[in-house]
């Protein structure tokens, strides 16, 4: 038998090289100034970016909620479908992810533009007068749309894998005991799919908050999100590694808190069930 410790060694080395050491470097940058002396001034300068964190959290949260609303019925439908059908539907959900992320976002750009697909179509069928256009691109709505489109599969898949485990007999039992469809959902399906919801929320919210390409392409580069801000702190004019590292550190802590909260809720649910 392979000793478990030995088998984990390559992973431990990998972790040390590419996770622990870089984290240490981020920490080092966050708490030093240009001369390498210890300082807390980076941390206090984070106050200037409070608004940026706010708008990023807000957009990320809206996108996560929309994803959840869209994904829940979809995942349920897939989980109740028959074998072959189920596989096909999962594949259709995964299909867009085979294309490059940037390419997909560029595609949305040309759909939403002033002379893009939607505006041209509306003009063609006469809903918009010639020369006029709906402002779709470079709005917060466009950014949210980009996030929902790109991260939806990350919500559907965990929900689906949890729901697929719900036995049909449980649902039938509830119906036999006189529950209508709404009650079945509220009392049986939703409580049983909480773990899927939680991991889906984490998997959508975390990348949505820290995204930077989507905001740049669909948001018109007029308001920076936290991801854009960190990017400009490392490349581009006014690069400041120290503030950049501090911003990433704060973002990391936020994400850790987010995961801790979902973990606690998860634990709480298990307590409730037992």
Among the listed residues 22, 54, 73, 263, the single contact to other proteins using CB under 8 A:
54
DSSP annotation of 35 = T
How many CB atoms are closer than 10 A to CB 189?
A: 18
Per-residue tokens: 266: 């998860």
User: Does 49 sit near other proteins (CB under 8 A)?
Assistant: yes
In angstroms, rounded to a whole number, what is the distance separating the alpha carbons of residues 248 and 18?
A: 16
CB nearer to other proteins: pick between 1 and 47: 47
- Facing residues of 38 across strands? 32
User: Does 83 sit near other proteins (CB under 8 A)?
Assistant: no
CB nearer to other proteins: pick between 166 and 250: 250
Minimum distance, C-beta of residue 270 to other proteins, in the bound complex (Å): 12
Minimum distance, C-beta of residue 268 to other proteins, in the bound complex (Å): 7
CB nearer to other proteins: pick between 1 and 50: 50
User: Does 124 sit near other proteins (CB under 8 A)?
Assistant: no
Part in contact with other proteins (CB under 8 A); list of ranges 82-90, 141-149, 159-167, 230-238: 230-238
Among the listed residues 79, 199, 229, 246, the single contact to other proteins using CB under 8 A:
229
Q: Write the CB contacts of 254 (distance below 8 Å, at least 6 apart in sequence).
A: 53, 209
Name which of 269, 93, 271 is nearest 195 in CA terms: 269
Q: Write the CB contacts of 222 (distance below 8 Å, at least 6 apart in sequence).
A: 138
For residue 106, CA distances in Å to 101, 144, 212 come to 9, 15, 14
User: Does 180 sit near other proteins (CB under 8 A)?
Assistant: no
Part in contact with other proteins (CB under 8 A); list of ranges 6-14, 45-53, 154-162, 196-204: 45-53
CB nearer to other proteins: pick between 57 and 70: 57
User: Does 212 sit near other proteins (CB under 8 A)?
Assistant: no
Q: Tell me, by CB under 8 A, how many residues bind other proteins.
A: 36
In angstroms, rounded to a whole number, what is the distance separating the alpha carbons of residues 50 and 55?
A: 9
CB 111 within 8 A of CB 119: no
- Facing residues of 32 across strands? 38
Minimum distance, C-beta of residue 176 to other proteins, in the bound complex (Å): 31
Among the listed residues 132, 181, 261, 270, the single contact to other proteins using CB under 8 A:
261
In angstroms, rounded to a whole number, what is the distance separating the alpha carbons of residues 86 and 164?
A: 10
In angstroms, rounded to a whole number, what is the distance separating the alpha carbons of residues 7 and 3?
A: 6
CB nearer to other proteins: pick between 48 and 176: 48
User: Does 224 sit near other proteins (CB under 8 A)?
Assistant: yes
Part in contact with other proteins (CB under 8 A); list of ranges 108-116, 122-130, 163-171, 173-181: 108-116
For residue 36, CA distances in Å to 31, 48, 233, 250 come to 9, 23, 18, 20
Q: Which residues bind other proteins (CB under 8 A)?
A: 47-55, 57-58, 113-115, 135, 138, 220-224, 228-229, 232, 234-239, 257, 261, 264-265, 268, 271
């Amino acid at each position: 038998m392979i000793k478990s410790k030995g088998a984990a060694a390559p992973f431990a080395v990998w972790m040390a090289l590419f996770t622990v050491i870089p984290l240490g470097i981020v920490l080092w940058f966050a708490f030093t100034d240009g001369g390498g002396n210890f300082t807390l001034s980076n941390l206090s300068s984070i106050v200037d970016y409070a608004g940026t964190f706010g708008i990023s959290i807000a957009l990320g949260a809206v996108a996560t909620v929309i994803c959840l609303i869209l994904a829940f019925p979809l995942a349920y439908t897939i989980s109740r479908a028959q074998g072959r059908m189920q596989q096909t539907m999962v594949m259709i959900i995964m299909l867009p992810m085979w294309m490059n992320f940037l390419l997909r976002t560029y595609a949305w750009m040309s759909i939403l533009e002033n002379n893009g697909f939607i505006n041209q179509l509306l003009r063609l069928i006469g809903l918009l007068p010639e020369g006029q256009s709906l402002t779709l691109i470079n709005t917060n709505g466009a950014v949210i749309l980009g996030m929902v489109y790109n991260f939806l599969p990350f919500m559907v898949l965990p929900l689906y894998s949890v729901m697929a485990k719900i036995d049909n007999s449980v649902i039938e039992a509830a119906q036999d005991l006189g529950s209508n469809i709404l009650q079945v959902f509220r009392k049986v399906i939703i409580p049983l799919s909480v773990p899927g919801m939680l991991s889906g929320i984490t998997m959508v919210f975390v990348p949505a908050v820290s995204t930077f390409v989507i905001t740049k392409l669909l948001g018109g580069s007029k308001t920076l999100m936290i991801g854009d801000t960190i990017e400009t702190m490392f490349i581009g004019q006014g690069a400041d590694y120290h503030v950049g590292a501090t911003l990433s550190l704060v973002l990391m802590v936020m994400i850790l808190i987010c995961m801790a909260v979902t973990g606690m809720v998860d634990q709480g649910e298990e307590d409730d069930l037992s």
